[in-house]
Amino acid sequence: MTVAQPSAPAALRLLGGLPGLLLLLCLPGVRGDCGLPPEVPNAQPVLGGLTSFPQGATVTYECNETYAKIPGSKDSVICGQDDQWTDIEEFCNRSCSAPPRLSFAALRPPYVSQNYFPVGTVIEYDCRPGYRRVPFLPRNVTCLQNLTWSTAPEFCKKQSCRNPGELLNGHIDIPDGILFGASITFSCNPGYKLYGETTSLCLVSGNSVQWSDPLPECREIYCPTPPRIDNGIIEGERDHYVHTQSVTYLCNRGFTMIGHNSIYCTVNGEEGEWSGPPPVCKGKSVTSMAPPTVQKSTTVNVPTTKASSTSQKTSKTTTANTQATQSTSVSRTTKPSHETTPSKGSGTSSGTIMLLSESHSVTQPGVQWHNLGSLQPCWDYRHKPHLFHIDSFACDASNHGLADLAKEE
């Protein structure tokens, strides 16, 4: 396998003695160097562009494509002291390339460092973490005659995380199941805020799988204390208000509500807020009226003479001063302001002063009052003498006004 070279003495004879020897020593191939290394079937030496190598130099070979180094065989030669390369045997053989990488399985330890896979070689796999072995399916592949690997069945399946259950007042989105590698997301119903992680992954845990994070918690979102209003109250007030709950306002007596009587608790992002401002309670406005006509005071002397047993007339004069005024009272009833019980044997009776207010038809015993828009005192002959100070009322035809009595007197 090495190139034959003439011996040194023969070379000297050819070159003519000592001068020829000196010339031979000057040649590169005669200074103890090796030439090109020997050829090896199905392999090529790595020369690095060199054509000669000094003593002790090593040249390594690489197998041709579709060939691989036979484990344990020598793949290099060395330039010896005799300027000869060491012997080398054929070390390359047909081999499959590296076995396929499977997503669900990995090479078993004995095959991890192997790089020579001749035809017929069988290698085995183990399931990766997060996968489980499928019974009765082979977990190996074989190097075929065409130097390809047989197709590996899916002999490992993903493990499953436990069912996450239900999220109270929330929702769990499971787009791709709950197998190893799956991701689920959490969200809360309107009016609730999520406390915890928004996602969880099905990851390896020892020889099994489990969720990376526990279920979060959805808590109610509370609105702040509802605003107070002047001259009003909150009907049925609560300690706390949550989403969609409302408060209703009531105005105090004598006040009018401006705005909506209710506001409700809503959510802005993750914070509770009220749907709008509360109403306003304003005092009732006084209806403007034309100024009343002021009349002069009129004094009327009303005799209340009643015959006594001695035929002696005793007269008592009742004086009534009437003046047009504007009443602001809101009472719907008449109340006596002063009443005098007649003394025995006097034969006279004193009047009762009454105050009547509001423009409504009012019936007093023996007197019919109607809204006639005038101010008049009235006398009731059927009962005790009365003096009424009325606003926009007049006496019924069944009685006489004080002015008429004055004329009769």
pLDDT digits over 53-98, tens only?
Answer: 999 999 999 999 888 888 888 999 999 989 899 998 888 888 999 9
Q: Cα separation of 337 and 323, whole Å? A: 18
User: Average per-residue pLDDT in the chain?
Assistant: 73
Is domain 32-94 classified as CATH 2.10.70.10?
yes
> What is the reported pLDDT for 71?
84
Architecture of the 242-283 domain? Ribbon (2.10)
Which CATH code fits 170-220? 2.10.70.10
Contact 35, 52 (CB under 8 A): yes
Tell me the per-residue pLDDT of 180-239, one tens digit each, with 9 for 90 and over.
999 999 999 999 999 999 999 999 999 999 999 999 999 999 999 999 999 999 998 888
> What is the reported pLDDT for 6?
43
3-state helix, strand, coil in the chain (%, to 5): 5, 35, 55
DSSP per residue over 83-100, as a string?
S-BPP----EEE-B-SPP
Tell me the per-residue pLDDT of 277-315, one tens digit each, with 9 for 90 and over.
999 999 876 554 444 444 444 444 444 444 444 334 434
What is the third-level CATH fold of 105-158? Complement Module; domain 1 (2.10.70)
Tell me the per-residue pLDDT of 361-408, one tens digit each, with 9 for 90 and over.
344 444 444 444 434 444 444 444 444 444 433 344 444 444 443 344
Domain boundaries, the chain: 32-94, 105-158, 170-220, 242-283, 301-307+315-408
pTM score, two decimals?
Answer: 0.49
Please list, in sequence order, all residues whose beta carbon lies within 8 angstroms of the beta carbon of residue 234, skipping any fewer than 6 positions away.
Answer: 226, 228, 247, 248, 249, 250
DSSP per residue over 349-387, as a string?
---EEEE--SSS-EEETTEEEEE-S-B--EE-SSSS-EE
Q: Cα separation of 267 and 273, whole Å? A: 6
Which residues, in sequence order, are bridge partners of residue 59?
77
